[in-house]
Amino acid sequence: MANEAKETSGKTKIAVVTGGSRGIGKSTVLALAERGVNSIFTFVSASKEADEVVSAVAKFGAQAVAFKLDTGIVGEFDGFVERVNSTVRGWGAEHIDYLVNNAGISHHNAFDKVTEEELDKLYAVNFKGVFFLTQKLVRIMNDGGRIVNISSGLARFWTPNTVPYASLKGAIEVFTHYLAKDLGPRGITVNAVAPGAIQTDFSGGMVRDNPEVNKMVSEATALGRPGLPDDIGPMIASFLSDANRWVTAQRIEVSGGMYL
C-alpha cells in the first residue's frame, strides 16, 4: 500500500493530524504511515507517547514529526504553521496534502448546570480551533487535497449530559458542508467522519474502563461491541486516498451501527 500515496503525483503525500499521540489520532498517523504518507501531528501533554508514535512511523519507512500545540489557543497557530512549512520544505515538498482535524476535548454535564466557562473552553477546542487552524492550513495545502473533520455519533443520536459537546459536533458537520463548497474550485474535498463510542482514554476512559458503559454500548451497537481506535484510523487513511476523490461534503458515521 505504500505506493498508493504516490499513485498520482510521484511524490510522498504529507498529512497534518491534530491530536496524533493517542487514540484515534495515533491510529490515523500509523495507518497513513503504512500507506507511505508522512505526518506532522500535534499533542498537548503526551510527549512520551508522541515520541513513541514517531518511532513507530519510522518502522513503516515513513516520517513523522510531533509538535506541541493547544488547538484551543488560536494565537499559537501562526508559529505552528511556520513549523509545518519548515518541516515540509525539509522533506523536499512545498505544501501539505491532507488535514485531519482530530483534536478535541470531552464534556459531560447536565444542561442546566453547564457554565459559561465550560462552554467557552469546549467551543475553543472543538469548533473555533478547527475553524481557524483549517483557515490557515488550506493556504499551504495542494489543490486536490483532502480534509477530514472528526464529528461524533452524538450529532445523530442522544445520550445524557452531552448537549454542548453534541451541538458543537453538529456545528462541525455544517462547517464541513459549507467548506466543501468553498474549497471545491481547488479540488479539495472536505468530509466529516463521525465515530461512535470508542475505547480510548477520551472522557477519562469511560467506554474502555467502565464495565457498565461498555456493556450498554455493546448492547446498543449492531456489531456487538464498542469501537477501537484501529476501527477508525485505517478508515480515515483510506478515505484520504485518491479512491475517494469524488466524495465531498459528506458525513460518514463509523460506529459499528450504534443506535440503529
- Tell me which residue has cell 500545540: 69
Is 2's pLDDT higher than 60? no
Judge whether 42 and 68 are in contact, CB under 8 Å: yes
CATH superfamily of 13-254: NAD(P)-binding Rossmann-like Domain (3.40.50.720)
Q: Where would I find the H helices in the chain?
A: 23-34, 47-58, 77-90, 116-123, 129-137, 163-183, 206-209, 211-220, 229-239
| Rg of the chain (C-alpha set) | 18
User: Is the pLDDT score of 3 beyond 70?
Assistant: no
Tally: H helices and E strands in the chain? 9, 7
Q: Quote the CA–CA distance of 69 and 77 in Å, as a whole number.
A: 8
Q: Give per-residue pLDDT as tens, 136-174.
A: 999 999 999 999 999 999 899 988 999 999 999 999 999
- Pick the residue with more confidence: 91 or 210? 91
259 is catalytic: no
Percent of the chain with pLDDT over 90: 83
Which one from 123, 165, 178, 259 is the annotated catalytic residue?
Answer: 165
Question: Rounded to an integer, what distance in angstroms lies between the CA atom of residue 21 and that of residue 133?
Answer: 18
Domain extent listing, the chain: 13-254
pTM: predicted TM-score of the whole model, two decimal places: 0.93
